[in-house]
């Protein structure tokens, strides 16, 4: 699929669909979006206007323009000429099934349907579809017009060719694409995050440290490196000349012991109040909206800087 020939349809223009629309417009594609909610079109256009300075700063492709956005409340019309359909409707299996049925009723049989679903398996979503082989996972990260990662995978009935087509297409739009080889709940990046949240909550509950200090332990510690190299390369770098093999041999016994002591995810909601109180205390001397603004500015600077360095993966 080349840019000149690819028409994009965005089905569902909430938080994630709007981000996808901005991303594809910035990469120079013609985008047709659909959403049945009242006021969806004006919300989408306002949202894209607001984020346009950011996508401009990240770099527009030739011909990129907000004018390349068409909106229709009619899903059949939205997907009729689409080569690539990004489904970002509500996260409920019954709604995904009815959405897929509506999309298939209007779309070409060979158009890719990529679902943004965070938690549902593609095998479940594609059950009952007319052409399940073209239904793939294309899971982004919020804000999806800024964060490069997309997790791609298939269900039992997705064809390997369509997974490969999807990966190549996202990569051609500047996304960092990873392949999920086997369906698991929560895909990959969110599972890694849950492992960390599980232990962070447990440390607060055990009285080991405050919410603010646990946040600082990541944001002033390993989190600074994680945006540059992932967990395995960082371990390899820590291992000196012996690399990760020596390091794992060396640290293995201690890490096994720490791992046996890790907390489990709370089974009830009792823990929420103490975590929320800790967050309130942490935010006392900050303006939270301004904090998020500064975070996003720094995130953009980081992405710009990473692009100039050829030896960062
Ligand atoms: N929010 C996140 O951080 C995040 C991150 C990655 C993936 N996702 C996934 O993206 C998908 C969308 O999530 P969201 O956070 O944007 O939800 P959202 O509630 O903000 O948006 C869903 C949109 O779908 C629209 N919709 C409802 N019925 C529809 C229909 N029949 N046709 C077209 N649109 C319809 C709604 O009007 C709404 O605008 C979910 O599957 C979610 O799991 C969310």
290 C-alpha to center of ligand 1: Å?
26
Please list, in sequence order, all residues whose beta carbon lies within 8 angstroms of the beta carbon of residue 218, skipping any fewer than 6 positions away: 196
Shortest-distance Cα residue to atom 37 of ligand 1 = 37
Alpha-helical segments (H) within the chain: 15-26, 40-58, 75-79, 93-106, 122-125, 160-172, 189-205, 211-219, 222-226, 231-238, 243-260, 272-283, 288-307
How remote is the CA of residue 85 from the centroid of ligand 1, in Å? Answer: 14
Q: Is the pLDDT of residue 1 over 90?
A: no
Domains with residue ranges and CATH for the chain: 3-179 (3.40.50.720), 189-307 (1.10.1040.10)
Tally Cβ neighbours within 10 Å of residue 249.
11
Atom of ligand 1 nearest to the CA of 87: 11
- Identify which of 89, 98, 117, 189 to mutate to test ligand 1's pocket (most ligand atoms within 8 A of the CB): 89
Pocket flag, ligand 1, residue 32 (CB < 6 Å): no
Asked if residue 265 lies in contact with residue 200, where contact means CB atoms within 8 angstroms, the answer is no
From CA 188, how far away is CA 72, in angstroms rounded? 34
Q: Write out the H or E segment, with its range, that includes residue 11.
A: strand 7-11
In the block, residue with structure tokens 């929420």: 272
If residue 34 lies in a helix (H) or strand (E), which one and from where to where? strand 30-34
pLDDT in tens, 134-182: 999 999 999 999 999 999 999 999 999 999 999 999 999 999 999 999 9
Rounded distance between C-alpha atoms, residue 213 and residue 119, angstroms? 30
| Mean pLDDT estimate for the chain | 96
Q: Is the pLDDT of residue 30 over 60?
A: yes
Cis peptide upstream of residue 143 (ω within 30 degrees of 0): yes
Q: Quick one: DSSP state of residue 14?
A: S
Residue 3 scores a pLDDT above 90 = no
CB atoms within 10 A of CB 273: 9
Phi, psi (degrees; rounded to nearest 5) at 31: -120, 130
Judge residue 233's burial from the number of C-beta atoms within 10 Å of its C-beta, 0-12 exposed, 13-18 middle, 19 or more buried.
middle
pLDDT digits (tens, 9 = 90+) for 79-138: 999 999 999 999 999 999 999 999 999 999 999 999 999 999 999 999 999 999 999 999
E-strand ranges in 65-194 read 69-71, 84-87, 112-115, 135-140, 149-154, 176-179
Rounded Cα distance between 307 and 118, Å, is 27
């Amino acid at each position: 699929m080349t840019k000149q020939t690819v028409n994009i349809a965005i089905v569902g223009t909430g938080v994630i669909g709007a981000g996808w629309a901005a991303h594809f417009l910035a990469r120079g594609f013609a985008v047709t979006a659909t959403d049945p909610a009242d006021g969806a079109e004006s919300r989408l256009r306002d949202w894209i206007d607001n984020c346009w300075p950011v996508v401009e700063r990240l770099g527009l492709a030739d011909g990129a323009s907000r004018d390349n956005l068409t909106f229709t409340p009619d899903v059949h019309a939205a997907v009729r000429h689409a080569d690539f359909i990004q489904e970002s409707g509500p996260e409920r299996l019954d709604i995904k099934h009815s959405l897929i049925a509506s999309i298939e009723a209007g779309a070409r049989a060979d158009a890719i349907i990529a679902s943004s679903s965070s938690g549902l398996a593609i095998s479940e979503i594609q059950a009952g579809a007319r052409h399940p082989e073209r239904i793939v996972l294309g899971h982004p990260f919020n804000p999806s017009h800024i964060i490069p990662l997309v997790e791609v995978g298939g269900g039992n009935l997705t064809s390997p060719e369509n997974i490969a087509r999807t990966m190549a297409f996202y990569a051609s739009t500047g996304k960092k694409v990873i392949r999920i080889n086997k369906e698991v709940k929560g895909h990959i990046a969110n599972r890694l995050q849950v492992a960390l949240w599980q232990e962070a909550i447990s440390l607060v509950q055990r009285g080991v440290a405050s919410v603010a200090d646990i946040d600082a332990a990541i944001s002033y510690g390993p989190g600074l490196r994680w945006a540059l190299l992932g967990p395995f390369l960082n371990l390899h770098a820590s291992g000196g000349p012996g690399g990760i093999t020596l390091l794992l041999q060396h640290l293995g016994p201690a890490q096994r012991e720490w791992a046996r002591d890790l907390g489990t995810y709370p089974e009830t909601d009792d823990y929420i109040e103490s975590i929320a109180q800790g967050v309130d205390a942490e935010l006392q001397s900050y303006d939270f909206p301004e904090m998020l603004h500064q975070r996003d500015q720094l995130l953009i600077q980081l992405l710009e800087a990473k692009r100039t360095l050829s030896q960062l993966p």
